[in-house]
Structure 1
Amino acid sequence: MTAQATELVRLLTVRGETLAVAESLTGGLVAAQITAVPGASKVFRGSVTAYATDLKHELLGVDAPLLAQRGAVDPQVAAQMAAGVRKTLGADWGIATTGVAGPDPQDGQPVGTVFVAVDGPPTRRPGSAGGGKVEALRLNGGRAEIRMESVRSVLAVLLEQLAGEQSGNGQAQDTERNGGF
């Protein structure tokens, strides 16, 4: 259990909101971090580990032509995974991870290429773009380090979205973060 996961469960509990997780390269590590927190059952709806590309379409509703054209390691795939798990599991928020942990490149992407995404309810502020965000990560390190940094990053993105909503600064955007090891 991490401080991030503990804070996430606390914030969602206070807000009365729920979370669902879609994972690929992290293989259940995100869900494990969240469910390690006492009281997580108040906010955690469940998770889908869609490691195989076809399951991203079948279980999460990711666009099949998108998967065929770009492969599973793509920002739009991450966004659709987050939206799909949110809808499928009936949660207020959905988060997703997809990428290449190694040892070999995948879908034309080098090891360390990761996309994390958040999909949430439209904010209540007039003119807000809502609770969607994708971050592109370029991570260094071995397979285990890449996977754990992906977990940390997706939790951080959701925490940023929740904090942004509370402060009035949250807007949907695409950004790129270099997670250095």
Structure 2
Amino acid sequence: MRKVLSSNNSDLVKQILKTTNLKKIVPNLDDAHFDFLLRGFLTSGNSDFFDLVFQSVNLEKRINALEEYYFPRLLENALSSTNVDLGKRVLDAMNFQKIQYHLGSSCLDSLIRETMKSSSPLSLRALSRLNLKRIVEEFDDGSLCCLLTEIVTARNFNSANYAAQSINIRKRVSRLSGVNFVDFLRDGSFTF
């Protein structure tokens, strides 16, 4: 179905979709195929047939029923989508509160860093939906150093400022031992 939807011949796509029983197919897709189809829309940025394909499912419920395994990649595709409105719809359907309690700290660390790297206008929206204060409190020194590096080198200043405000910088940084802060302030890299 993803190949059909990516076709440049919109008349042909409409014809195929009209003759396909989407109300039966889409709700019965397993997690892997549903994720693949959804990310196909995000990657292509083409939302012409999005509503038609997903009309038979409650998008929010279906996305939140996905296993946590799919969440980071789906978030990354939502942030990098050339269609910001489509990315926003998928982002808004995600339950960040549920996910952050099921992902391990290394996965959350990676997720936050990927969001910080994004220049998407949606990255601040994604960060604000995570409970960053709670997450960052549980970071080990290495994860905290990585996050501080991302904040200093971020392309998206709004996201960087938001993430910086989530850290009690004075308290957390004072506990880091053996860090060369001169190098950090110069180029954003940590040496111990």
- TM-score w.r.t. the length of structure 2 is 0.21
- Larger RCO: 1 or 2 (CA < 8 Å, sep 6+): 1
Whose Rg is larger?
Answer: 2
Larger helix share, 1 or 2? 2
- TM-score w.r.t. the length of structure 1 is 0.22
